[in-house]
Amino acid sequence: MTHDPKSMMIQLQGMEQQLQSFGMQRQQLQAQLLEVESALEEVEGAKTAYRIIGGIMVSADPVALKSELSEKKGSIGVRIKSVERQENSLKDKAQALQEEVLKVSGGKE
């Protein structure tokens, strides 16, 4: 790692932007998860169900739709955990870099 405070600050700013991006991804995935969970509640015990395909609502088998939604819920959950792991790892790296910047810039003053 370089000990030039200016390049370290630029690197830190890049990490902050990545963290914002991860946060937005996580929020979008959580919104999708809520939507799927809501759809699952509606399908539960339903005798008829519908799915929207290309702007057209068509009849769907409730059991198959429930299975599909459950699978999608699991997939979204895995993606959320992955984003959270990446986000936490980057937070740790950013914190370490920030401490290094303080050490390097504090040592010169």
In terms of CATH architecture, what is 19-108?
A: Orthogonal Bundle (1.10)
pLDDT digits (tens, 9 = 90+) for 30-60: 999 999 999 999 999 899 999 999 999 999 9
Q: pLDDT-derived band of residue 67, with 50, 70 and 90 as boundaries?
A: very high
Task: Tell me the domain boundaries of the chain.
Answer: 19-108
* CA 29 to each of CA 25, 38, 76, 94, 108: distance values in angstroms, whole numbers, following the listed order: 6, 14, 6, 24, 44
* 93-105: pLDDT as tens digits: 999 999 998 888 7
